[in-house]
Amino acid sequence: MKKILCLLLLFNLQTLNVFASAVKDFEIRQYNPVNMGLKDLYYDVRIEGLTKEFKKSNSLIKIEKEIYFKVFWLYPGKIEIEVEGLPKGFLAQKNQLISLVTPKVAEVIPTSLSKTLRKYELAEKKKGKNTIVIAKDRTRSSAVTEMELTFDEKSRLTKVFYRSPMGSQRVQNNYVTKAWSKNKWVKDMVVARSVTGVQSTKVETKYDYESIKGFGLLNKIVINTEQVINQNSKNGKELKNSIENIVQFSNHKVNENIAQGYFRRNVSGGKN
């Protein structure tokens, strides 16, 4: 019995070590400007059509200027988003706008996969040249209860399957190398397909970059969303809806202590 327990323990340790190696290999091969020496970053973010749509849904608020965002990022991960073009006050609307842009801002600096998976129970298996990692939340306290991650032979995270109480989602990632990426993989396109009840959604996201002071940074994200609702009627008709969103990143200031100065001012004097 003791021998069996020891073998099981050894197997579990080997599984976790192999998985840790797979994740480590992916994070080493993935381009991350922080690993290239990025310490201080400022940039503007504009969502195409945002000002027009905001005026429509908030007709009582007088908007005279374009609504856009200023982003301050300081190593190792301190970040602040300011909303421009919105009159003073209107805290609820400001927070809604920040919530809208936050997922786009999160694309600029890749998040740590290791940290994301830290609270999950992990197992791995080989499938041909690919490594499949299964992550399960046994407590079911997370929004996503299970993930299946596929790493190819080049250490790229090519596919992710998410399962939650609300439905499921399949994500396919495409990576390329750029002249400035120093043979690191750069995310080029993501296609996500999800099913919730009678509604299926496909989201295709394309990424464009530019080299600024030797750092590859986002300058545009194009998001195409297609939703299909199956009415389960006799004639089999489906309701379809498509929309395109364009997010622009500009006015980058790299390692010029802009963010550092911003945070110092706010600590000493508070925000205006």
Using one digit for the tens of pLDDT, what is the confidence trace for 176-194?
999 999 999 999 999 999 9
Whole domain around residue 55: which residue ranges? 2-269
Lowest mean pLDDT among 12-26, 114-128, 172-186, 226-240: 12-26
Whether the per-residue pLDDT at 271 is higher than 70: the answer is no
DSSP state of 271: -
**62-87 confidence digits (pLDDT tens):** 999 999 999 999 999 999 999 999 99
Residue 20, pLDDT score: 55
Residue 233, pLDDT score: 55
Mean pLDDT calculated for residue range 105-112: 94
Based on the structure, what is the number of domains in the chain? Answer: 1
Residue 6, pLDDT score: 44
Residue 197, pLDDT score: 80
262 phi and psi, to 5 degrees?
-60, -50
Residue 3, pLDDT score: 47
Whether the per-residue pLDDT at 89 is higher than 80: the answer is yes
Residue 230, pLDDT score: 81
Angle between helices 50-57 and 91-105 (to 10 degrees): 150
Pick the more confident residue, 90 or 20.
Answer: 90
Residue 148, pLDDT score: 96
124/22 Cα distance (integer angstroms): 10
Whether the per-residue pLDDT at 165 is higher than 60: the answer is yes
Percent of the chain with pLDDT over 70: 89
Lowest mean pLDDT among 37-51, 126-140, 200-214, 250-264: 126-140
251 phi and psi, to 5 degrees?
55, 40
Amino acid 168 reads S
5/3 Cα distance (integer angstroms): 5
Biggest CA pair distance of the chain: 76
9/15 Cα distance (integer angstroms): 10
Whether the per-residue pLDDT at 270 is higher than 70: the answer is no
**36-65 confidence digits (pLDDT tens):** 999 999 999 999 999 999 999 999 999 999
Average model confidence (pLDDT) across the chain: 89
Whether the per-residue pLDDT at 268 is higher than 90: the answer is no
Whether the per-residue pLDDT at 10 is higher than 60: the answer is no
